[in-house]
Each structure stands twice: as structure tokens, then as C-alpha cells.
Structure 1
Amino acid sequence: MRDAVGDGAVNGDEPSGKDLLYEQLKAYEGRPATTSGVGKDTVNEPMIRHWCEAMGDANPAYPAVAPPTMLQAWTMGGLSGHTGRTAAYDELFALLDGAGCTAVVATDCEQEYLRDLRPGDRITFDAVIESVSERKKTALGTGYFVTTRMDVRGGGELAGTHRFRILKYAPGARTKTPAGGTGARATGGGRPGARRPRPVVNRDNAGFWDGVARHQLLIQRCTSCSALRFPWLPGCNACGSPEWDTVAASGAGTVYSYVVMHHPAFPAFDPPYAVGLIELAEGVRMVSNVIGVPYDKVRVGLPVSLEFLRVDEDLELPVFRGSGG
């Protein structure tokens, strides 16, 4: 079955000839998404402090300056949105929705920092639809990647650029289990035969994954100031020293915060399921699945204990079992 856009359809059989939908979408490249946007708050110390506490960032440079990665936070409009938003983005989404690309997932973001943002800076910004990809087939479904570029200014000076990329796609069909469910829960994978995404292992975190293979959850410890840190980093974010060793976590912790994942569906997962920010007994925090209790029973402060879950023949992951599970 073909969509009303003819050769631009994304559902059904692979179309032949030109992708007419893509030609329509391509016309939106370069069009403004927001003009003369203004941040609802000036850069301020309370927001910087809350951010640093949530991220576990004890860098002494803050809050005299804002962490660079807060760049997008100052532009967020909340539920009421921002003035300056143009119709172009909504029109683009309407075209995609009309072609069956009704689902959306954020895929990645890129930031470039040009100057520090300091308390008192008034934030202004402009955004443009930078690019729309050709039609792509993904594990989630077939659709188009849309990249938006936002230029952020502080006190009238360009402070940084934020690129945000989404996939707007037509969801693929999900396999049902005989009991009427949609496959195993996130603890054991979703669709039969589907594999979890592979973690990115590099020279900075290879030691962590070596520890997981030995059923140890290793935390970095700075050998200069003894500060513990997680996730693994090449240097200490407290004193800057590049020298470190490791300590093994006891496995005890509590749920510091959490989300319940409902959408989008990914073949190796079966929502809804809980993902927690776990505060370990050692004081550092990490993100992982909360298992052993119903997703709607997970709560802040729930005691959890470490387990290692084998999800396929060559991937084992640290997860946390809630008390009572």
C-alpha cells in the first residue's frame, strides 16, 4: 500500500523512482525554526548549582561560570514555549506525519562552545532547519533524519552552537507473544532474536567493561585527591590529575531518580520499563535498569542491589534489583 504522496511513501513496499516526499522536505533546509528567541531566565547561580548537583560535577569553577554543557538548558521554553517560533518546523512535521512518520526519537546532539556563560547573561538565540536526510531504513522503522542548528548568544555575543538531530519515522510492526504481550521485558530483551545495542568501549572505559566481565563494578579513584568518579573519565574533575586507580563497588545503592520508558519501541526492549539513576553506597551515581519490581512501583529512595545480567551470548550488563524483587 502506498501513501498519498506516491513515490515518497515510507510505508509498504520500497518505492521506485524519485522520493517525492524527500524533495518536499528538502525545501525546508535553511528555513528558520526560531527567530530572535529569548531565554526565559538569565544565566543564574541556582540553576547552575542544581545542574552540577544532578550531574555530580564538583568543578570549583562553577557557579562563577556555567558548565558549557548547559548551553541548551538556557534556551528551553517549557510547556508554554517561546516567542519567535516560526511555522516552518510545524509544517515539516505535518508533512512527515502525513506520510506515516508519526514517531520521533532524538538520535544525537553536537555542541560547540565559544565563550563562557556567566550569571547575569541574557540568552538570545536563533534556530534553523539545517538538513533533512534522504529516506533511511533503521531498526525502529523507515524515516528521515532532521537536524536543527541553534546559535546561542550571551550578552549579545555568540556563546555556542547546538545541533540537535531527530529521526521522524514510521514505526515497524511489533511481534506479539502468545499471551498477548510484546516479548520479554527489558531485563531479557524484546523481540525474539533482537540484540541490545552494543556499548561503546574505548581506551577511557575499557577497564570498566573488563571489570563487568569479572562481575565487578569498578569506580575510578583519583590517586592525588582520592575523589571517586563515575562514569569513567581520563582525568579527575575535582583536581585535574590524570592519575587514578579503581575500587570495587559494594553493590548497594538507592534510586536517586528514575524514568519509565514507554516509547519508542526498540526490538530488543519491551516498554514500559524503569531506568534509574542509582546512587551507589560509595557516593557516585550511574544509570541502569531497575529490575525485580513492577515499573510503577519504582520510587526515589528505593533500596537496590547490584546484579549482572547476561542479555545475549557476548553481552553482560550491570543492573539493579529493587528490594522485594
Structure 2
Amino acid sequence: MTGEELLDLAAKQAALGELAGAPADDPVNVPMIRHWLAAMGDRNPVYLDRGLAPPAMAQVWTMTAPAPGDRSPVSVMMGALDEAGYTGVVATNCEQTYHRYVRVGELLTPATRFTGLAGPKRTALGEGFFATWVVTWYAGEGEPVAEMLFRVLKFRPPEKRAEPYPLRPSVNRDTAFFWDGVRRGELRVQSCADCGELRHPPGPMCPRCHSANRAHVVARGEGVVYSYVVHHHPPVPGRETPFVVAVVELPEGVRIVGNVVDCPPESVAVGMPVRVAYRPMDDELVLPVWTPGEP
């Protein structure tokens, strides 16, 4: 439903006016009052001494389990909002008015009136509608003893983002070029801008000529397993064990550590051809991993 259609439906539900519900299953009784007083820490003796119920208990006497097929105006409206994607709900305010004390032995009957829908509105929780209804409790021959205005915000929850992957690489001035390449689908290997020596892991100085001038080349993304371990224990956050960690030798002459995926751990072997792949671990992090390649 569109927002306009939801507002039209709300107007129709409000036009139905107050609709009476079923009488309470049990009359106002002492055991329930005693339980309420104990739960609330209320030691006022007037209730049990005079056979009166605390006014705030009004809703307790007529509460029932949700009934399948309930087509009350409130249920119809809440269902329509759910179907339109406004599945989040939070109570925003509740105002109760008490006309008199309810006495032990009285049987209460609730009546509900849907009063309106306001929105759509932007809130901190997301876009939503404020739905309001009023419940009135009657005793005897229709004497109102209490009423409650209840308002909720039905909002559209934001799209759930993936949980951040807990094992995040350290990115600094020496390694930023490598992770920039991974995000672009490139396996970059640091090189010396003076003598051309390749090195991995990246570092601030060339081990051959000691130059601090750095560049990089893009590797083909193919290699062979030089050595590996199968990790079983201890548990690693964000990973299911067992998994393979391998040292992969590239034809460019350097070795890179990474996980071997998309195959059972027992199928991994030294000399196994592998090819690089890039796996999103969460909304921000991409890691290079190794998959079985062509022999």
C-alpha cells in the first residue's frame, strides 16, 4: 500500500467508531490484586481492605491472547502497515483516565476506537506512521470506569547491514596501495622504483638497494601452494573451522599468505595450482583468497 492508501484505510477504520469487545473471562478478584501489589511494591492497604482494584490494573482484567483472524480496526491497520513494510513498532505514549475505582466482583468489558493515523514522518528510527487508538472499560450497564489512549510508531526498519568482519588488516602508508588494489580487483606487488626489485610483504625500503622510492606491479593472480596449515583450533572470530591458510608462490617471484577456499581442506596439497579471488567480508572489507586453479 502507498502512504495515501494507508491513510484512506485509517480513515475508514476510524469511521467505524467504538467497537465493544468480549467481556472479561474473570471478574475483578483479590488474588490478582494481591499479585499486582506484590509485583509493583505497592503497600497501600486501601485496596485489599476495601475490595478495590488499583486503577492502573484496568487493562489487566480484559487482556487476552492474540486471536487468529482478528479483524478489529486496530488489527486491520497494524496488518496493513506490516504489509507495506512498516514492520517496526515502538510505543510512544500512553495516557490513562480513571473515572472511579473498580470493585472486587465487577466484570469489565473493553471497547476500542481507532482514532487516526499520522504520517509518513521521518524519525530517528526511520520513516513511519503514528497510529492512535482509545480503549474504554465499562462496568455493569455500560458505565465507563477507565480509558486509555495508546499511540505507537510503526516504522520501516533500515536495511540491515552485514556485521563487520572482526579480523581486519592493518592498513598504513606501506600497505595502503595493496588494499586499494584489492578493492579494484588487482593483486598488487610492491616494487622498488629504482632497481625494480619486487617484495612482499610491503615495506618502507628496498632490501636490495635500500631505496625508499616505491612503486608496484599488478600480478597475474596465479600461483601454487608453497606450504599450508589446516586450522582447527582455537576458534577464530568470524571464521568456521577447519580452514586452510597457505603460503602461495607467485610466478612473479614473491610469496603471499591467504586462505584457500572453495575446496575441502583435505584436497589442498603442496604444489596445487590456485587463482586469486576477491571476497567481500562485510560492507567495507574485501579480502584476496585463493581458489583451486587449472593444473
Relative to the length of structure 1, the TM-score reads 0.46
Over alpha carbons, which structure has the higher Rg?
A: 2
Relative to the length of structure 2, the TM-score reads 0.50
